[in-house]
Copies of this chain bind each other. A is one copy, B any other.
Amino acid sequence: MPDKPTTIKEIAKMLKISVSTVSRALNDHSSIGLTTKMRVKKLAAELNYEPNQRAIQFLHGKSFVIGVILPELSESFFSTAISGIEDIAYKRNYTVLLAQSHDDAEREKLLVAKMKSQGVDGLLVSVAKTTSTYEHFELFRKLNIPIVFFDRIPPIKDIHYVSSNLETGTFEAVNFLLKKGHRTIGMINGPGTLVASHERKEGYIRAMTANRLKFDPSLIVTCDLSEDDTIKAMDALLNHRRKPSTVVTFNDYVALFAMRYVKSIGLTDIDFVSYANLPIINYMDHTPIASVEQFPYKQGKKAADILIDLINKPKNESGSEQAYFNIVVESELVLSKRK
């Protein structure tokens, strides 16, 4: 028996009252008598009535769906972030439409269009590495559908975003190394084009000056995050006139490449500090002694919360200027559990 789901009409007919009364009774409307309410609710429960979400969404012109576009779920940062997004969405009765851009700008565009035609109420985006144009996002702005960016923020004005500030975590990291007695601290940074690289550098500098040490720019080298380039960078540090006793690397992968290289040439006395705190470090033979944590779960939660707030915001009050959420989740140093 593929019995069609119960509708409000049927309940109305059985109780010989109107559909509107049933609807109001179920929604605890004040203008319905207590007795009718009870009767309706009882019958509804017996019949396993569940409101037809599609009818409601259609009526309200809302989908209660938020679209999420991110580069790669296999990257631990994102798979953790999505958990935060999910949790908030479910708590607030929204539903998550997920899609991966696989770091392909074209696909990202396609997905944005798809999300639009699907009629999402809002969008959560972490942009693809290759994305360089941003009109597909502007389209949403025209339609008044909110977008909140997270982690990978596009360089455009007047957007909502949530991201982490690596400056603080880096400050803590360098501070920690100084307290541990290190005096020559190298850094393998990422490409200068990334905000994240800047923040790391700033944190480094602030920690040095806070400790009344002079900052040597040549101790910070950049790399493109590939293994080859990491090795070059590490080489540069090892051949520095002041050979560093410890190195802060851009992320866990860079750390890994660098550590492997260092070990391959027989060195063992260099401490590493890294970012992200990926699960892989639990399986590595040599691990960083500390990591700067970016709290992806928290970032995901925060971004979803803002987006849903935005969606439900009392209409565009034409008087007040639009305010943009720029939330920064501070990063934090975490000591490695393994030794």
Interface residues of chain A, those whose CB is within 8 Å of chain B, are 1-3, 5, 50, 52-55, 57-58, 61, 63, 73-74, 76, 79-80, 82-83, 86, 90, 95-100, 102, 114, 116-119, 142-144, 253, 256, 260, 279-280, 283-286, 316
Contact = CB atoms under 8 A, between A and B. Distances in A.
Contacts of A284: 283-285
Contact of A86 (B50, B52, B74, B99): B99
A86 B58 contact: no
A84 to B, nearest CB: 11
Contacts of A74: 76, 79-80, 279
A96 B95 contact: no
B90 A253 contact: no
Contacts of A58: 52, 54-55, 57-58
Contacts of A143: 2-3, 5
Contacts of A5: 143
B73 A79 contact: yes
Given A54-B54, A74-B76, 19 more contacts: A3-B142, A5-B143, A52-B58, A53-B118, A54-B57, A54-B61, A54-B63, A54-B119, A57-B58, A73-B73, A73-B82, A74-B80, A79-B79, A86-B99, A90-B114, A96-B99, A260-B285, A280-B283, A285-B286
Contact of A118 (B86, B95, B256): B95
B73 A100 contact: no
Nearest to A74: B79
Given A53-B118, A73-B83, A283-B256, A98 B96 contact: yes
Contacts of A118: 53, 95
A102 B87 CA distance: 11
